Amino acid sequence: MCRHAAWLGAPRALTALIQEPPNGLLTQSYRPRRQRHGTVNADGFGMGWYAAARAEPVRYRRSIPIWADANLPALAEIARSACLLAAVRCATTGMPVEESATAPFTEGPWLLSHNGRVARDAVRDLADGAESACDSAWLAAAAFQRLRAGLALGDALSEVVVKAAAKDPSARLNLLACDGAALAATVWGDTLFHRLSEDGVLVASEPLDDLPGWQAVPERSLLLATTSDGVRVQPL
């Protein structure tokens, strides 16, 4: 149910998440290696990044397969930032296939992606509204509502995941969010990995390549990453 990836560190182009790695999101859209649910992520894609000229992130998303967008290769080469987030989507049965249902979702300085599924009845009372009827949009709206109220990035994700899982024990709730200066991600029902390098940190549903250093994040954990403090993982 979807694959997502993010980078925080020295400026990189979005190709570092999508086309350049041998198992980047382009490859994961049609041949994921560790996806537990679904085999093809062809129901849309999106990416977001931060530019000095804008207070809010730039977002580009489509409801078509990532390989079908002829504009993407050039755009991903010039979209360069210290904080990047991208995702490819495998829509849950019954959920709409439309741009408004495609990650990343955004509000203010935040970007958010969801890998998984949850009953909509389990999340509708966690937010006042959402831009789409899909479960992921409601999860994003719930997280943004808590962020507006002043919760830290990791605390907002944790609260939403724990409350949604209490109402839907079979939910899969891998969330990935950023604000331009920090990353936060939850592991609840699917895989997540991270790799530290000299100039930053990669976080992804599955390794983007076979280089050493990738570490699996334990189930039911919260990952927090900043450029100053590196990566911290704690139980949810």
List, by residue number, the catalytic residues.
Answer: 2
| Residue 109 Cα distances to 34, 135, 178, angstroms | 31, 22, 8
Residues 6+ apart with CB under 8 A from 173: 114, 116, 118, 139, 160, 161, 164, 165, 186, 188, 189
**Tell me, what DSSP letter sits at residue 25?**
H
Residues 6+ apart with CB under 8 A from 187: 174, 217, 218, 219, 220, 221, 222, 223, 236
Q: Tokens 């190709």 sit at which residue?
A: 15
Q: What are phi and psi of 68, to 5 degrees?
A: -95, 0
Residues 6+ apart with CB under 8 A from 121: 167, 168
Contact 201, 5 (CB under 8 A): no
**Count of CB atoms within 10 A of residue 6's CB?**
26
3-class SS shares of the chain: helix, strand, coil, % to 5: 25, 35, 45
